[in-house]
C-alpha cells in the first residue's frame, strides 16, 4: 500500500472514531535519555528519543456491533540518532473496523490486524471472519496483503514484496463437549514461489503450511495443548523427512489443590520451520537438523498469595549440542498492602554446546541468572525495583563475552497517579554488561487514558 494511501486511510479511520458512543483513547509518551560505553562506538553520543504510543477503541459506531480499533507509535530523536534507519520512525500496529454479531461469536474485521489462528500468526492488510457453526464446529478465514517490513540486510526488498503478494488462510475447528477443541488450518503466504519466477531465485519467501491444533481437558485435572505444522510447499524435501516443521505440545496435570505439573515437548525441523524467513542469513532455510526440547515445571501455590515454581528444560540442537536450564521462581502477592514481589534463580548448563567459528572449536555457553523484583503502591504513588545478575562460565574462552563474566542490571521506577486517567512515572536503569561496558538510562513515561478503557491488562 502506498504511503499516501496509508495516511488517507488513517485519517478516515481516526475521524470515524468520532462517531463512537463509547470511545477510549490511551496514550503513552516515553522520553528517554541514555549514554553508552560500547567499544567501537561513539562514547560522546547522547540519545534522546521521544516516542508516542497511541491507541483508540471506538465502540458502538452507529450500532452496538460496530467498532474501530487503532494502535500505533511514532518516534523522533531529539539529538543523536538512536536507532537504525533514521532519526524518525513509526508504525501502524493495527487499525481495523470490526463488526461483532450478538450470536455465534461471529465477527468480521477489515483493515490491518494480527491474525492468530492455527498455523496463521500474521500481520495482514485485509479481511477476517469468524463464526461458530452448529454442533460444535467453527470456522475462521482471512485474506489480504501481508504486511511486509523493511529489511536492511542483503536480501532484495523488491523480491520479498513481489513474492509475498497476498496471503490467505482458514481454520476449521471442532469443540468436543466439556473437553475442548481440535482444529485443522491452512496458510498460504505469497502466490509465486522463487522457483516459478521468470528468472528463478534462490531465496523463497512464500509459505504453504497445514496445521493441526488441539486444546483438550479430558478430565478436570489434566489438560493437553499443542500443535503440529506441516510444510506443504513444493520446496525441496530432505531425505527421509516427514515435512513436519514443528510439533509443540504441553500437558498440565493438577496433582492436588495448589500443586500443578506441566510437561512440554518441542520438535522443530529447521528446513521447514524457517520457510519464508526474510532474514535467511540468520535463519538459514537450508539448515539441516532439528531442535528438540523436553521440559517440565512444578507450580505450588503454598498459601493463597505465595507461588513457587521449579522448572527444568533440556534442549538439543543437532548441529551444536545439548543444554539444560533449571531453576526456581517465587512470587508473592500481598494484595491488601498492594505489594507484589518475586525472586528467581536459574542455571543453564551448556558445556556441551559445541560451536562455533573457524578460530574457536568450542566454548561454554553456561551461565546462571538471579533476579529479584518488587512493586508497591501507596495511594497515588507507586514504585518498583528490578535487579538481575548473570554469571557467565565461559568468559575466558567465549569471545562474545570479552573476558567479562558478570553482567548486572538494576531498574528503579517511581510513579504518580494524578487522576484516574493520568499517570506519570520515571525509570532509572544502570547496566554493566560484557557488550555495553556501562549503560545508564533515564526514562519518563506519561500514560493517559480517556474513556471507559476497562481493558488493557492493567
Do residues 457 and 59 lie in contact, with contact meaning Cβ atoms separated by under 8 Å?
no
Do residues 56 and 456 lie in contact, with contact meaning Cβ atoms separated by under 8 Å?
no
Q: Is the dihedral of CA 8, 11, 17, 18 positive or negative?
A: negative
The set of cell numbers assigned to 325 is: 536450564
Binding segment (CB under 8 A) for other proteins, from list 6-14, 195-203, 230-238, 366-374: 366-374
| Nearest-approach distance from CB 413 to other proteins, in angstroms | 4
Please report whether residue 50 would count as binding other proteins according to CB under 8 A.
no
Listed residue (55, 57, 134, 59) closest to 100, CA to CA: 59
Binding segment (CB under 8 A) for other proteins, from list 2-10, 12-20, 236-244, 345-353: 345-353
d(CA 206, CA 382): 48
Please report whether residue 187 would count as binding other proteins according to CB under 8 A.
no
Please report whether residue 286 would count as binding other proteins according to CB under 8 A.
no
| Nearest-approach distance from CB 224 to other proteins, in angstroms | 10
- Per DSSP, what are the bridge partners of residue 151? none
Residues 235-274, interacting with other proteins (CB under 8 A): 250, 252, 254, 260, 262, 264, 268, 270, 273-274
CA angle 210, 216, 219 (to 5 degrees): 165
- From residue 55 to residue 94, the character string flagging contacts with other proteins as x (rule: CB under 8 A) and all else as - is x-x-----------x-x-x-x-------xxx---x-x-xx
Applying CB under 8 A, among 186, 276, 327, 346 the residue interacting with other proteins is 276
Query: How many Cβ atoms from other residues are within 10 Å of residue 128's Cβ?
Result: 23
d(CA 393, CA 395): 6
Residues 378-437, interacting with other proteins (CB under 8 A): 382, 384-386, 388, 390, 392, 400-401, 407-409, 411, 413, 415, 425, 427, 429, 431, 433-436
| Nearest-approach distance from CB 299 to other proteins, in angstroms | 6
Please report whether residue 231 would count as binding other proteins according to CB under 8 A.
no
d(CA 173, CA 138): 5
Q: Is the dihedral of CA 152, 158, 163, 164 positive or negative?
A: positive
Q: Burial level of 199, CB count in 10 A (0-12/13-18/19+)? A: exposed
The single residue listed with the C-alpha cell 471472519 is: 129
| Per-residue H/E/C for 398-425 | CHHHCCCCEEEEEEEEEEEEEECCEEEE
| Nearest-approach distance from CB 16 to other proteins, in angstroms | 17
Please report whether residue 362 would count as binding other proteins according to CB under 8 A.
no
The single residue listed with the C-alpha cell 513481489 is: 162
Applying CB under 8 A, among 44, 220, 359, 419 the residue interacting with other proteins is 220
d(CA 227, CA 119): 9
Main-chain dihedrals φ then ψ at residue 274, nearest 5 degrees: -85, 10
Please report whether residue 173 would count as binding other proteins according to CB under 8 A.
yes
Please report whether residue 165 would count as binding other proteins according to CB under 8 A.
no
Please report whether residue 158 would count as binding other proteins according to CB under 8 A.
no
Do residues 183 and 161 lie in contact, with contact meaning Cβ atoms separated by under 8 Å?
no
Residue 270 DSSP symbol: H
- From residue 123 to residue 152, the character string flagging contacts with other proteins as x (rule: CB under 8 A) and all else as - is x---x-xxxxxx-x--x-x-x---x-xxxx
Applying CB under 8 A, among 29, 159, 161, 215 the residue interacting with other proteins is 215
Main-chain dihedrals φ then ψ at residue 34, nearest 5 degrees: -150, 160
Residues 193-212, interacting with other proteins (CB under 8 A): none
Applying CB under 8 A, among 25, 375, 444, 446 the residue interacting with other proteins is 375
DSSP string, 277-295: -S-TTTS-TT--SEEEEEE
Please report whether residue 293 would count as binding other proteins according to CB under 8 A.
yes
| Nearest-approach distance from CB 324 to other proteins, in angstroms | 10
Applying CB under 8 A, among 23, 66, 68, 117 the residue interacting with other proteins is 117
Applying CB under 8 A, among 23, 194, 229, 350 the residue interacting with other proteins is 350
The set of cell numbers assigned to 267 is: 520438535
Residues 20-49, interacting with other proteins (CB under 8 A): 26, 28, 30, 32
| Nearest-approach distance from CB 244 to other proteins, in angstroms | 13
Do residues 355 and 320 lie in contact, with contact meaning Cβ atoms separated by under 8 Å?
yes
Reported as type and span, the H/E element at residue 138 is strand 137-146
| Nearest-approach distance from CB 285 to other proteins, in angstroms | 10
Please report whether residue 342 would count as binding other proteins according to CB under 8 A.
yes
Please report whether residue 361 would count as binding other proteins according to CB under 8 A.
no
| Nearest-approach distance from CB 222 to other proteins, in angstroms | 10
Amino acid at each position: 500500500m502506498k504511503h499516501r494511501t496509508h495516511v488517507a486511510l488513517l485519517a478516515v479511520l481516526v475521524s470515524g472514531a468520532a462517531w463512537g458512543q463509547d470511545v477510549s483513547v490511551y496514550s503513552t509518551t516515553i522520553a528517554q535519555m541514555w549514554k553508552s560505553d560500547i567499544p567501537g562506538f561513539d562514547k560522546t553520543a547522547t540519545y534522546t528519543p521521544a516516542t508516542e504510543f497511541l491507541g483508540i477503541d471506538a465502540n458502538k459506531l452507529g450500532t452496538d456491533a460496530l467498532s474501530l480499533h487503532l494502535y500505533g507509535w511514532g518516534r523522533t530523536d531529539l539529538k543523536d540518532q538512536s536507532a537504525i534507519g533514521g532519526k524518525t520512525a513509526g508504525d501502524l500496529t493495527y487499525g481495523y473496523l470490526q463488526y461483532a454479531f450478538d450470536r455465534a461469536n461471529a465477527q468480521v474485521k477489515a483493515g490491518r490486524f494480527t491474525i492468530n489462528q492455527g498455523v496463521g500468526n500474521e500481520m495482514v492488510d485485509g479481511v477476517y471472519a469468524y463464526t461458530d457453526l452448529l454442533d460444535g464446529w467453527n470456522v475462521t478465514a482471512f485474506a489480504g496483503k501481508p504486511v511486509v517490513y523493511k529489511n536492511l540486510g542483503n536480501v532484495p526488498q523488491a523480491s520479498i514484496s513481489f513474492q509475498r503478494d497476498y496471503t490467505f488462510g482458514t481454520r476449521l475447528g471442532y469443540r468436543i463437549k466439556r473437553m475442548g477443541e481440535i482444529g485443522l488450518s491452512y496458510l498460504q503466504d505469497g502466490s509465486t514461489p522463487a522457483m516459478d519466477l521468470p528468472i528463478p531465485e534462490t531465496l523463497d519467501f512464500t509459505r504453504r503450511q497445514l496445521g493441526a491444533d488441539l486444546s483438550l481437558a479430558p478430565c478436570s485435572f489434566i489438560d493437553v495443548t499443542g500443535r503440529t505444522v506441516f510444510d506443504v510447499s513444493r520446496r525441496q524435501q530432505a531425505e527421509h523427512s516427514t515435512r513436519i516443521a514443528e510439533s509443540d505440545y504441553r500437558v498440565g496435570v493438577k496433582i492436588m489443590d495448589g500443586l500443578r505439573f506441566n510437561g512440554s515437548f518441542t520438535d522443530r525441523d529447521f528446513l521447514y520451520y524457517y520457510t519464508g524467513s526474510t532474514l535467511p542469513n540468520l535463519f538459514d532455510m537450508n539448515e539441516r537438523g532439528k531442535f528438540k526440547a523436553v521440559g517440565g515445571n512444578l507450580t505450588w501455590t503454598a498459601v493463597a498469595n505465595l507461588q513457587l515454581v521449579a522448572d527444568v528444560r533440556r534442549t538439543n540442537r543437532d548441529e551444536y549440542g545439548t543444554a539444560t536450564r533449571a531453576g526456581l521462581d517465587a512470587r508473592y502477592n500481598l494484595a491488601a498492602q498492594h505489594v507484589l514481589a518475586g525472586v528467581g534463580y536459574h542455571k543453564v548448563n551448556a558445556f556441551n554446546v559445541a560451536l562455533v567459528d573457524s578460530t574457536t572449536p568450542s566454548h561454554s555457553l553456561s551461565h546462571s541468572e538471579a533476579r529479584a523484583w518488587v512493586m508497591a503502591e501507596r495511594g497515588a504513588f507507586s514504585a518498583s525495583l528490578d535487579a538481575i545478575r548473570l554469571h557467565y562460565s565461559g568468559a575466558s574462552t567465549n569471545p562474545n563475552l570479552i573476558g567479562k563474566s558478570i553482567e548486572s542490571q538494576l531498574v528503579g521506577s517511581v510513579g504518580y497517579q494524578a487522576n484516574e486517567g493520568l499517570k506519570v512515572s520515571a525509570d532509572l536503569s544502570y547496566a554493566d554488561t560484557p557488550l555495553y561496558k556501562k549503560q545508564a538510562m533515564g526514562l519518563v513515561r506519561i500514560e493517559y487514558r480517556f474513556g471507559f478503557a476497562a481493558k488493557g491488562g492493567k
